Structure 1
């Protein structure tokens, strides 16, 4: 491209007449100097390879055509030998070199049809060698032939060879020029040595031969320059096309990425819509379930509360009539209704706490064998009253250590065993049985509760774990339970890590409830004392055991405070009460005795709580004072301040209150 720009500028200056000698010199240099090689050797190598491949077929065709013309001149020599007596004596020797030239050309054709001929360097060697051989043969023929045939019939052959050399064979300008100069030099030397051609004819022939050489070399230079420029243009176009294809590929990839992103976005949007729809449906189902739960809870709570109100009203009328025996009996029935109300209310609160996530399991190593034995012993009297044989196989005497919650697991076992006792099959009188078994496996321990009761149809397996669902109790007989036991069992097992609940049942034949628990770490503490699953199952403690205790009561509800004070007075408990933390602080400044126990509500006035009561006691007394929190809040937590055993939920029975008060005061006395 730079050469062409230089050439155009030189021609323009020449036509304008400006600096004519310099323009002519530049134009001659541009026309006669062969093109320079590319600066980059790699580009030059690629160019020569492309050049050789592109003109290989053209060179083969030109070589075949030139050989045919060379052979045709042999026929012309035959004719000349028959018609000219002067030429005839030289024919044999001249024809011999004609055949030698034909042989050289044939060898060149054979070599040209090999695959290596596409290499430009090899093609140059073959073609230049063939041309040199044919020029040599023609030179010998020229100087062997007699006058004037050596000039008129043979010397002109050099013009044809040069035409082929410069035009048809697509050779490089530098190589052809070197060969031409060499041939002309040999011709001149041969003429000087032999003077075979007449001087005038030789001078004219050389004049024309030099003109053919100059013109042919100029054509060859421009042809090669054109090919080089075209190669650069083609390469630039190829690079441009490659860049365009690369850009198109990148654009196509981006388009595919965008399309994929669009589809992903549509999928995510559809999934989000579906998730929202599922969440909305789940929320609606949860709301409906909660409404059903509240309706069932309200129904079941109204019944004992209604009975409690009626019993108390009847007892009040009996007292007015001074019928002490009837009023005592009616108050006893009212107390039963109150206990049932408290049990139902506490069960509802327990289930609410489990489902709301307010329960944080406390994992310890528990001897499941000992817990099962204690639970079976506690429920033995209840089973006997229902005519059910309760059995626990004690074939394995060694402990079965599991990792579980020491407070909740006994309740799970108690609920499952009590459930089997309650739903014994009446038709199997004296044969009703509940079997409790322990199965030890390498990674877990399984407790099985098997009964031969009424069984559960498979379509009810899921529904029996719902609150207030009792398949065999359509009349809602409270003697058959509250309908919350299995719900609590399912909630506890779902909450505990590594635990699993299984059910197998055949209607009319019985059921098997199984709970899997992970084996405890053998290096963990294995002497944990397990508290009873239900204090109500233990013998009722006597209120007389509390006589003489000094208790501080912190309760803001006047009705609850009055009822507690009345109980303490009847039990012989010494007490002082306060309605807030501020009143308690003032009371602590006046008392002369360290209290044996402090009983406090959790939520207190002025946005304070039982935590503030505990901190106040710790700051005022030099030794720890046991504290019992009695609360009506399902989410109340004293974790990190008081153990779980120091928290009771309202409402609670007097037996549980007495038992817990004794437990805390006796533990404090031992310390």
Structure 2
């Protein structure tokens, strides 16, 4: 089968020869049987149309030539009538059919040039009807002409008509064979009825006529078969050319696409190189900034730590001299230095968490008006100590619900208000003011913290948000702050979705810091009646008395300090350094511990996760675990809740509160 879905004539002949019982029979069938139609009707229709178009002009020319030959035989009949007295009486009747045939041929020529002669079916009808009419005229001449002229001069005309029919008109083999059989049948019928031709001559003439018919039919069959095979080859070539053109077009398109891709790749490569250069430069800048940050942090941490060491040394000497009052005062000063160290360290740790992406904000609906009330109340005493009037200017006594993080937003507001209080203008004694305003808009709420302090020059607007940068504190006085407040504010606002920080300031006149945040969804707003109540007063360590705690801490100083606190609080405890020691301890304990406190990073590559796993293996009921770590971004992979992880350093009050929360012991106020 070829690409058109049908067998070629060559394939058919080969199959016939290979399957026929005898080669002779196969060849006879191959020669005399007209070609089969294509299996696909659409292909057959297309072949017929192509066949008619291809031979239309050739058939017209053959029709004109045949008409001229027919007319020339008329002149020969005229000459015969002039020379033969025997033929002369029959000439008018015979010649009348000559002119009738010429008229019929002329009509065929006219139809061939007027009608849709390029259609194979129309051409066949015109030519076959014309041939039939010519044969009828020739048969009438044969019957009317006298012997032997009817055989020697007219019967032989059938040979010419058959030669002309099979060789010039390009008719289909089946149609010409049917017409030939009809003509032969008509000749035989006429002979039987009229006995016009002598029997001996008629037998000889029919013998030759049948031979001409067989030979002409075989030629016509092979001609049509050749045309069909050529049509298949041409169509296959056209299909191949079409496929080649499509492939060339696809190749050209691919070439264009490759060229476009090459240009795009070049642009991307250039952009990537530029991006890498920018990233390298940004990394270098970040590295320099980190180095400056670490240097500033180390400098600021050394100051309170230095003071702490000196206070403790002086207190030690006072105790040796049994000066209880002096030692007590010095230990109090040491605690102040320790608190300052913890504040500074926690500030650095918070900023590191924010910038490293370890902080994941938790969005809730927060009443911003209530947050402002609480923050202003907490900072009122600090403002009064600095001689600054702190006011909250609100137009309406109604909630202002926003979508923000309930833990970080109070710190942002507190840092902004504290910053305004710290940088009050000394020349405006008695007139220094910090005003907190709340502006409600349809889609957002804005907090404005406005002061009339020293103000900030425009060239310092970007610098004040850098860590440890204090424009009005070149001597780095810790009493004026740590220099981390605005850095934390900037990092928190950048982290929270839909939040924006704005600054407007005039040197010598004051500043306005504004934080814009999105309005909360109405369906997510918490009912004020179900809002959490105010936090109780700090719990007392006496609430922990009698608890049994297992401590896993590899740092000897930290372990010793916590053991000392537990002893003072009346907490029963066992302390180990490694996970292996903790496993051995679990084999000997006679009481299920109330709480496990563990560092995260432990010796021998172990972590607090291993501690939690051992607890699950040894005890059937869950035992609460508190992880106290100095690493930022510690993840327990969902094993422990977020409130079971605390960051070092932490205050004793925070440790007491979290221990009571995890053990479920009711807190007793101090």
TM-score normalised to the size of structure 1?
A: 0.72
Residues 602-617 of structure 1: pairs in structure 2 closer than 5 A: 602=599
Give the 3 Å change call, closer, same or farther, for CA 454–269 of structure 1 in structure 2. Answer: same
Equivalent residue pairs, number: 636
Q: 1:529 aligns with which of 518, 528, 532?
A: 532
513-522 or 346-355: bigger deviation: 513-522
Task: Say which SS state the counterpart of residue 668 (structure 2) adopts.
Answer: helix
342-351 or 396-405: bigger deviation: 396-405
1:137 shift after superposition:
2.0
1:275 shift after superposition:
7.8
In 2, are the aligned partners of 1:365 and 1:528 still within 8 Å (CA)?
A: no
2:417 counterpart residue number: 417
1:417 shift after superposition:
1.4
In 2, are the aligned partners of 1:451 and 1:512 still within 8 Å (CA)?
A: no
C-alpha distance in structure 1 between counterparts of 2:44 and 2:170, whole Å: 17
C-alpha distance in structure 2 between counterparts of 1:179 and 1:121, whole Å: 15
419-428 or 270-279: bigger deviation: 270-279
1:55 counterpart residue number: 55
2:478 counterpart residue number: 478
1:86 shift after superposition:
6.8
2:340 counterpart residue number: 340
Instruction: Kindly indicate whether residue 667 of structure 2 is the aligned counterpart of residue 668 of structure 1.
Output: yes
Give the 3 Å change call, closer, same or farther, for CA 154–102 of structure 1 in structure 2. Answer: same
In 2, are the aligned partners of 1:371 and 1:530 still within 8 Å (CA)?
A: no
Instruction: Kindly indicate whether residue 178 of structure 2 is the aligned counterpart of residue 175 of structure 1.
Output: no
In 2, are the aligned partners of 1:142 and 1:151 still within 8 Å (CA)?
A: yes
Instruction: Kindly indicate whether residue 371 of structure 2 is the aligned counterpart of residue 371 of structure 1.
Output: yes
Task: Say which SS state the counterpart of residue 35 (structure 1) adopts.
Answer: coil
Instruction: Kindly indicate whether residue 503 of structure 2 is the aligned counterpart of residue 504 of structure 1.
Output: yes
Give the 3 Å change call, closer, same or farther, for CA 63–566 of structure 1 in structure 2. Answer: closer
227-236 or 247-256: bigger deviation: 247-256
1:516 counterpart residue number: 517
C-alpha distance in structure 2 between counterparts of 1:51 and 1:663, whole Å: 100
Residues 186-201 of structure 1: pairs in structure 2 closer than 5 A: 186-194=186-194, 196=196
Give the 3 Å change call, closer, same or farther, for CA 576–216 of structure 1 in structure 2. Answer: closer
1:130 shift after superposition:
0.5
In 1, are the aligned partners of 2:600 and 2:628 still within 8 Å (CA)?
A: no
In 2, are the aligned partners of 1:602 and 1:610 still within 8 Å (CA)?
A: no
In 2, are the aligned partners of 1:632 and 1:651 still within 8 Å (CA)?
A: no
In 2, are the aligned partners of 1:388 and 1:421 still within 8 Å (CA)?
A: yes
Partner deviation per Cα, 1:235-274 (whole Å, 9 max, x = no partner): 6666777888889899999999999999999999999888
C-alpha distance in structure 2 between counterparts of 1:605 and 1:29, whole Å: 100
Residues 634-653 of structure 1: pairs in structure 2 closer than 5 A: 634=632, 644=643, 647=646, 649-650=648-649, 652=651
Instruction: Kindly indicate whether residue 351 of structure 2 is the aligned counterpart of residue 351 of structure 1.
Output: yes
2:7 counterpart residue number: none
1:40 counterpart residue number: 39
1:167 shift after superposition:
0.5
1:516 shift after superposition:
0.9
Partner deviation per Cα, 1:45-104 (whole Å, 9 max, x = no partner): 555444334333322221122123333444555666677777666555444433332332
Give the 3 Å change call, closer, same or farther, for CA 499–669 of structure 1 in structure 2. Answer: farther
2:215 counterpart residue number: 215
1:110 shift after superposition:
3.4
Give the 3 Å change call, closer, same or farther, for CA 218–310 of structure 1 in structure 2. Answer: closer
Task: Say which SS state the counterpart of residue 504 (structure 1) adopts.
Answer: strand
C-alpha distance in structure 1 between counterparts of 2:389 and 2:104, whole Å: 123
Give the 3 Å change call, closer, same or farther, for CA 449–142 of structure 1 in structure 2. Answer: same
1:375 shift after superposition:
0.5
Task: Say which SS state the counterpart of residue 668 (structure 1) adopts.
Answer: coil
1:14 counterpart residue number: none
C-alpha distance in structure 1 between counterparts of 2:17 and 2:573, whole Å: 118
Partner deviation per Cα, 1:535-571 (whole Å, 9 max, x = no partner): 9xx9xx9x9x8799958896886766877899999xx
In 2, are the aligned partners of 1:546 and 1:662 still within 8 Å (CA)?
A: no
In 2, are the aligned partners of 1:304 and 1:337 still within 8 Å (CA)?
A: yes
Give the 3 Å change call, closer, same or farther, for CA 238–340 of structure 1 in structure 2. Answer: same
Partner deviation per Cα, 1:481-524 (whole Å, 9 max, x = no partner): 2121122223334444x451321324436233214155164464
Give the 3 Å change call, closer, same or farther, for CA 462–96 of structure 1 in structure 2. Answer: farther
1:135 counterpart residue number: 135
Q: Which runs of 5+ in 2 are unaligned?
A: 1-9
1:218 shift after superposition:
3.3
Task: Say which SS state the counterpart of residue 501 (structure 2) adopts.
Answer: strand
Q: Which runs of 5+ in 1 are unaligned?
A: 11-18
Give the 3 Å change call, closer, same or farther, for CA 458–152 of structure 1 in structure 2. Answer: farther
C-alpha distance in structure 2 between counterparts of 1:85 and 1:276, whole Å: 118
1:401 shift after superposition:
3.7
Partner deviation per Cα, 1:572-603 (whole Å, 9 max, x = no partner): 976778654989x89x9999xxx9x9996746
Residues 568-583 of structure 1: pairs in structure 2 closer than 5 A: 579-580=575-576
Task: Say which SS state the counterpart of residue 667 (structure 2) adopts.
Answer: helix
Task: Say which SS state the counterpart of residue 170 (structure 2) adopts.
Answer: coil
Partner deviation per Cα, 1:115-148 (whole Å, 9 max, x = no partner): 7434434332221111011122233334445666
603-612 or 333-342: bigger deviation: 603-612
1:294 counterpart residue number: 294
1:435 counterpart residue number: 435
C-alpha distance in structure 2 between counterparts of 1:339 and 1:182, whole Å: 128
Q: CA RMSD in A?
A: 5.7
Residues 60-459 of structure 1: pairs in structure 2 closer than 5 A: 60-76=60-76, 92-113=92-113, 116-145=116-145, 150-151=150-151, 153-194=153-194, 196=196, 205-206=205-206, 208-231=208-231, 285-308=285-308, 337-359=337-359, 361=361, 364-424=364-424, 432-441=432-441, 444-456=444-456
2:3 counterpart residue number: none
248-257 or 156-165: bigger deviation: 248-257
C-alpha distance in structure 2 between counterparts of 1:210 and 1:604, whole Å: 114
Task: Say which SS state the counterpart of residue 669 (structure 1) adopts.
Answer: coil
In 1, are the aligned partners of 2:312 and 2:331 still within 8 Å (CA)?
A: yes
Give the 3 Å change call, closer, same or farther, for CA 82–449 of structure 1 in structure 2. Answer: farther
Partner deviation per Cα, 1:333-376 (whole Å, 9 max, x = no partner): 76655443332122112223334455455555433211210101
C-alpha distance in structure 1 between counterparts of 2:524 and 2:97, whole Å: 112
In 2, are the aligned partners of 1:580 and 1:605 still within 8 Å (CA)?
A: no
Task: Say which SS state the counterpart of residue 36 (structure 2) adopts.
Answer: coil
C-alpha distance in structure 2 between counterparts of 1:46 and 1:130, whole Å: 26
Task: Say which SS state the counterpart of residue 476 (structure 1) adopts.
Answer: coil
C-alpha distance in structure 2 between counterparts of 1:660 and 1:171, whole Å: 109
